[in-house]
Amino acid sequence: GRQLLEEAIALDSGFSGAYAFLGWSHFFDARFGWSNSRAESAKMAFESAQKALEMDDTLDYAHTLLSAVYLVKRQHDKAVAEAERALALNPNGALVYNTLAGVVGCSGRWEESIIYGKKSIRHAPFPPLTSFHWLGRAYFMTGQYDEAILTFKKLLDRNPNYLPTHPFLAASYSSLGRGAEANAAAEQVLRINPK
């Protein structure tokens, strides 16, 4: 995908959307450790977002990218502001709600994260795994462990190897005193990543 985006930019250097999606590819490299340097990938994501927004400040997905970059930089106020800007531009955007669910949750605003997580799932015909992850995490952080478990199971039905879900699932079971199920979820973590 990155190669095609770079080709699109070579053909049309004013294609702002290509810069935004190129930035997302670098962001995911940084987020999931897929590159040799997370810091360099995050920098490239930030630069791509800025380039896209210099060309077209109305791209909601460029603002969500910038929000995500600010989040990993732990600049929560800027992350929330960019996500809210994206929402103003696209009040029906599933990606916008997904980003808001993650950003406000990481800012400690868990009840809001639940609201945005639900909207993210409702607005997307095929919600990304992160929509379920943010919602399940927010349920967990507000002590709604049964809801967290149901949400995490929906995610795992789609991808049983999605590592970030298993620790939260284990913690949810443990919080309810369901030790055997907590241990089984913890074993999945080690199955997916023995280190």
102-120 confidence digits (pLDDT tens) = 999 999 999 999 999 999 9
Give one DSSP letter per residue of 116-153, joined into a string: HHHHHHHH-SS--HHHHHHHHHHHHHTT-HHHHHHHHH
CA distance 89 to 3: 28
pTM of whole model > 0.85? yes
> According to the model, what pLDDT value does residue 33 have?
85
Which residues, 6+ apart, have CB-to-CB distance to 101 below 8 Å?
113, 114, 116, 117, 119, 120, 131, 134, 135, 138
**41-82 residue pLDDT tens:** 999 999 999 999 999 999 999 999 999 999 989 999 999 999
CA distance 66 to 2: 18
Which residues, 6+ apart, have CB-to-CB distance to 91 below 8 Å?
none
Which amino acid, residue 12? D
CA distance 11 to 9: 5
**167-195 residue pLDDT tens:** 999 999 999 999 999 999 999 999 999 98
